[in-house]
Amino acid sequence: MVLDSAKARKKIESVSDLPTLPTVASHIIAMANSPKTNAADVGKMIEQDQALTAKVLKLVNSSFYGFPGQIKSIQHAVVILGFNKVKNVVMTASVFDLSKGRKSLQIDIPKLWEHCLGTAIGARVVASSLGGGLQPDDAFVGGLIHDIGKLILDQFLTEDYMVVTEKVSADNCLIRSAEKEVLGFTHNTVGTWVAEKWRLPPNLLHSIQYHHRPDQARENREMVAAVHLGDILARSLGIGAAGDNRMPEIKTSVWQLYNLTAKFLDESIATMLVELKKAKEFFDLIESQ
């Protein structure tokens, strides 16, 4: 018997220790929507959290961003990289803490984060290669949090999600298919509930909500498509573990939106392999949890 999604949502949202974004990350998201925000305000906000400041500086000075050892302060980072990129680095540095100290008997949390990081890098590569209005670093964050619903289901609907993972093993099916059959809803639905609770901007919310169903997205279609592609590219490279051993198909709407070719996919994979070598500091954050 499948669960009632409304009751499941109420149960999840009522949990007292449901993961929340760190205060600084939440404030940075709010500041992004204010035309009065300046570099000094952003720097002061981030520097209130010394641990976060250290993580942000480590990431912005990694070879991934091309400024190794040159950026000495958050203020300098905002001037050099721009507010949007620094905002996204703050999100990246914060998001891994959502599962800190949590244990699971059914999913490998570090391997799931590695898959999400691979998806993030893939989405960034796609956005960089195809141009358009989508900012590559926005696509990166969208990829990083696209599977947040799996963590929530694992932690707060544990027994039900154990049935899901057992079905994945027994039937060798996609985890989303098992979720739909066992629960009546999927991790992207649960991730959307959490994104709404966190008041994430629409582009991030939609990348969570529609990354398996990009044809249903009516807004932020490029963002959703980039995350959809990033997910599949990360799976093709075997980065981390998404919860199953199957390879989803690239949706027709994404082929059409980007006018994709096999050559483009091959080139994207080659670029991802280069970018992965530059992302050591990001993988280090996962290992430190």
Q: What is the mean pLDDT of residues 164-178?
A: 95
Output the six-digit token pair for 174.
Answer: 């996609």
Q: Is the pLDDT of residue 15 over 70?
A: no
Residues 146/281, Cβ–Cβ less than 8 Å: no
Q: What is the mean pLDDT of residues 219-228?
A: 95
Residues 244/93, Cβ–Cβ less than 8 Å: no
Non-local CB neighbours of 134 within 8 Å, separated by 6+ positions: 127, 222, 223, 226
Which domains does the chain carry?
A: 20-99 (no CATH), 101-289 (1.10.3210.10)
Per-residue model confidence (pLDDT) at position 27: 82
Q: What is the mean pLDDT of residues 274-288?
A: 91
Q: Identify which has the larger pLDDT, 8 or 60.
A: 60
pTM: 0.92
Q: What is the mean pLDDT of residues 84-106?
A: 85
Q: Is the pLDDT of residue 158 over 60?
A: yes
Per-residue model confidence (pLDDT) at position 199: 85
What is the average pLDDT value for the chain, to the nearest integer?
Answer: 89
Closest-CA residue to 211 (of 185, 195, 187, 235):
187
Q: Identify which has the larger pLDDT, 97 or 238.
A: 238
Cβ count within 10 A of residue 33: 8
Output the six-digit token pair for 282.
Answer: 């990001």
Q: How does residue 262 score in pLDDT terms, banded at 50, 70 and 90? A: very high
Q: Identify which has the larger pLDDT, 271 or 4.
A: 271
Q: How does residue 258 score in pLDDT terms, banded at 50, 70 and 90? A: confident
